[in-house]
Amino acid sequence: MAPNAFDTDAGNGGETHQHVPERGPHGAAEAHLTTNQGIRVSDNQNSLKSGERGPALLEDFVLREKIFHFDHERIPERIVHARGSAAHGFFEAVEDISDLTKAALFTKGQKTPVFVRFSTVAGGAGSVDTPRDVRGFAVKFYTTEGNWDLVGNNIPVFFIQDAIKFPDLIHAVKMEADKAYPQAGSAHDTFWDWASLMPEATHMLMWAMSDRTLPRSFRTMEGFGIHTFQLVNAAGQAHFVKFHWKPKLGLQSTIWDEALKLQAADNDYHRRDLHEAIASGAYPEWRLGVQVFDKAFADAQAYDVLDATKVIPEEDVPVRIIGRLVLDRNPDNFFAETEQVAFCPANIVPGVDFTDDPLLQGRLFSYLDTQKSRLGTANFHQLPINAPKCPMMNFQRDGQMQMAVPKGRANYEPNSLAAHGEDGGPRECPVTGFRTSTAPTGADEAGDKLRVRAERFADHYSHARLFWVSQTKSEQAHIASSFVFEMSKVGLEQVPPRMVANLRNVDEGLAQRVADGLGIDLPPKAKAAKAPVDMKPSDALSIHKNMKTTLEGRSVGVLIADGSDATELTSVVDAITGAGGRPLIVAPKVGGAVLSNGKRMKADGQLAGSPSQIFDAVAIVLSEDGCKGLMGQGAAVQFVMDAFGHLKAIGASAAAKPLLDKAGVKADAGVTDLSKTFIEAASRRFYDREPDLRQLA
């Protein structure tokens, strides 16, 4: 009898102790998956490793061919993270961590130049800034010991555990192959068909459906290194480490309707925000934190710390702040810097090292190959934005677009030319050169060459459940709504029930809300490869629990019209500025409005082109006549209606009340006069204003 398509042990020699992810239904029985040379592939889920938790092996021709072909699919645009925005700045070490690492950039007081690129993942370079998507957060450190690239995202986990699945993930989430749409969105058949067949993606889906993928700005989102790395000190002692970037301004996000309207109002909203903040001197800043732990802690966990689909709760291992990142200079040329910058996770410095994370292992050689394809030459490191700022010497020569002019005939080593008066070139550095550490996982992890995953990689739902229970009620409602919206775009009838069946392993209430929102019956719970367990909620996983009550770094749209009270306007503008906010005047005409004192106030933006979604709060400063004039303007009504619907504070003069009434604004804590109460309200959002949470899905 042919093996069942859903039998996780089929084709695995009956070794039921080995965890193999569930395979979904495919084509005809004889439609065998092969390499480009026609060799049948026995396992398309796991890369070949030395032991269950050992490093990936270069002899894995299936992995190499698959990723090699994937890396060269697009020329010259990046296959993923194509739409990016970037800035120059510096990293400053603020704590002495010489007990953990010998890396020079972590010497207390040391300032290291950096170049940071933020990006969306799924869309092309010509897409938009504000879709629901993961955001890339890549940092290039130009250290005194060479370049270190910390290539991460604004989410600490990932969809997959093994790099061999990366091409499948991206193929599924990108534009559908037959019709080339949708662009920059995951709400379509192929992504959810794939995701519903990959239980290991469930935790990442919870993050992706949360407000984490709708950041208010790059300045107010976190960054994560995703993988577990190592820090190595001068004595050769190694510790596991997770890297965290925490924004100085705190976490902020938009809501779905607001994100849609931001996209309509300004396709470059995040790019513009970053550029203008730096140009105005409001330099974006993050704190670099580390979670450091040892092998004993790793072994004691129910999950595997090398599994990129898992988080290490901050309550278990607190984040220790060790430095700060400041972005203080915009690029001089977008193409030369933002487009041509080439990040590679394999670029590390002494004191930082890899682990055998199977997702990281695949990335180590994928990026280098991709940059050659995209930039056209193996000499891409010579481009100014990629070149190290410390001395660089080796015997690599020639190649397309070679810009250096090496002198002498020494292009090999060892050589004895120096003994005869010639330049013999550089030599290796046994004392100060980079040495791969002995992994704290222990040499006993290596073993037979296997295509398997360690048993602790089999729990796909506990961390997804942890994420869910750590959210506020509003955030949970947003997640449920996101799943409903995404899968409402799926035309494959079998996919939504399959996805909801997976969600029952996360939370029965979530699954029921999504099923109700889709109008389908609650399907049987999907069988879990390993039964999930309850974990203690982690406040660090919630945006709402980490938002700062502050106006610093936020903008307030101040709507005026002819006749607006000059004294009232001056008072509210001064109060906003005094609280660290940025007041922006909006008027029906770009020339501004004539105030009650007879003077004209120039506008920063015209009402028709400055909708309230581009601001964090709004103030309506109108006279009775000015209010009457705006009552018939749809843009004015919409300005107020959207601000209220997007849960923002609204401060209004008494004469503006008819406009608020027409916009359907109801009295609540976030609707105030223009006194100090408004400034306090403008520092937060009012999630209690949302409809019945159980009805959002």
What pLDDT, in 10s, does the model give residues 516-562? 999 999 999 999 999 999 999 999 999 999 999 999 999 999 999 99
Yes or no: say if 504 and 526 are a contact pair by the CB < 8 Å rule: yes
Q: What is the dihedral of CA 671, 672, 674, 678, to 10 degrees?
A: -80
Whether residue 24 is predicted with pLDDT greater than 60 in this model: the reply is no
Distance CA 597, CA 595 (A): 5
Q: Give the CATH class of 551-693.
A: alpha beta
What are the distances in angstroms from CA 335 to CA 340, 341, 385? 6, 9, 10
Could you list the beta-strand ranges (E) of 438-544: 449-450
Yes or no: say if 580 and 552 are a contact pair by the CB < 8 Å rule: yes
Whether residue 459 is predicted with pLDDT greater than 90 in this model: the reply is yes
Query: What interhelical angle do 495-503 and 189-196 show, nearest 10?
Result: 40
3-class secondary structure, 474: helix
DSSP 56: B
Whether residue 636 is predicted with pLDDT greater than 70 in this model: the reply is yes
Give domain 459-544's CATH architecture: Up-down Bundle (1.20)
What tokens does 629 get? 């004039």
pLDDT tier at 451, thresholds 50, 70, 90:
confident
Yes or no: say if 616 and 626 are a contact pair by the CB < 8 Å rule: no
Q: Give the residue among 371, 370, 391 at the shortest CA–CA distance from 381.
A: 371
Three-state helix/strand/coil letters over 132-187? CCCEEEEEEEEEECEEEEEEEECCCCCCCCCHHHHHHHHHHHCCCCCCCCCCCCCC
Helix (H), strand (E) at residue 637: helix 634-645
Neighbouring residues of 297: CB distance < 8 A, sequence distance ≥ 6: 240, 317
Helix (H), strand (E) at residue 575: helix 566-578
Helix (H), strand (E) at residue 70: helix 61-71
Q: Report which residue type is found at 379.
A: N
Terminal CA-CA length for the chain: 43
Give me the pLDDT at residue 420, please. Answer: 83
pLDDT tier at 445, thresholds 50, 70, 90:
low
What tokens does 9 get? 């042990």
pLDDT tier at 4, thresholds 50, 70, 90:
very low
What are the distances in angstroms from CA 443 to CA 54, 228, 229, 284, 438? 9, 17, 17, 42, 8
Other C-beta atoms closer than 10 Å to the C-beta of 570 total 14
Helix residue ranges per DSSP H, 232-321 = 256-265, 269-279, 295-300
Q: Is the pTM of this model over 0.75?
A: yes
Indicate the domain borders of the chain: 71-382, 459-544, 551-693
Whether residue 12 is predicted with pLDDT greater than 60 in this model: the reply is no
Percent of the residues in the chain that have a pLDDT greater than 90, as a whole number: 75
Q: What is the dihedral of CA 687, 690, 692, 694, to 10 degrees?
A: -70
Yes or no: say if 120 and 184 are a contact pair by the CB < 8 Å rule: yes
Whether residue 146 is predicted with pLDDT greater than 70 in this model: the reply is yes
Neighbouring residues of 221: CB distance < 8 A, sequence distance ≥ 6: 135, 137, 154, 212, 215, 247, 251, 252
pLDDT tier at 265, thresholds 50, 70, 90:
very high
Whether residue 8 is predicted with pLDDT greater than 90 in this model: the reply is no
Distance CA 636, CA 557 (A): 12
Give me the pLDDT at residue 359, please. Answer: 95
Yes or no: say if 251 and 546 are a contact pair by the CB < 8 Å rule: yes
- What CATH code would you report for 71-382? 2.40.180.10
Q: What are phi and psi of 73, to 5 degrees?
A: -75, -25
Mean pLDDT score, 584-595: 96
Residues 63-106: pLDDT tens digits?
A: 888 888 788 775 578 889 999 999 999 999 999 999 999 999 99
Distance CA 269, CA 129 (A): 6
pLDDT tier at 232, thresholds 50, 70, 90:
very high
Point out the residues that are catalytic: 81, 153
Lowest mean per-residue pLDDT among 154-158, 176-180, 404-408, 681-685: 404-408
Give me the pLDDT at residue 7, please. Answer: 35
Distance CA 473, CA 688 (A): 10
Residues 359-396: pLDDT tens digits?
A: 999 888 888 888 888 888 888 888 999 999 988 888 88
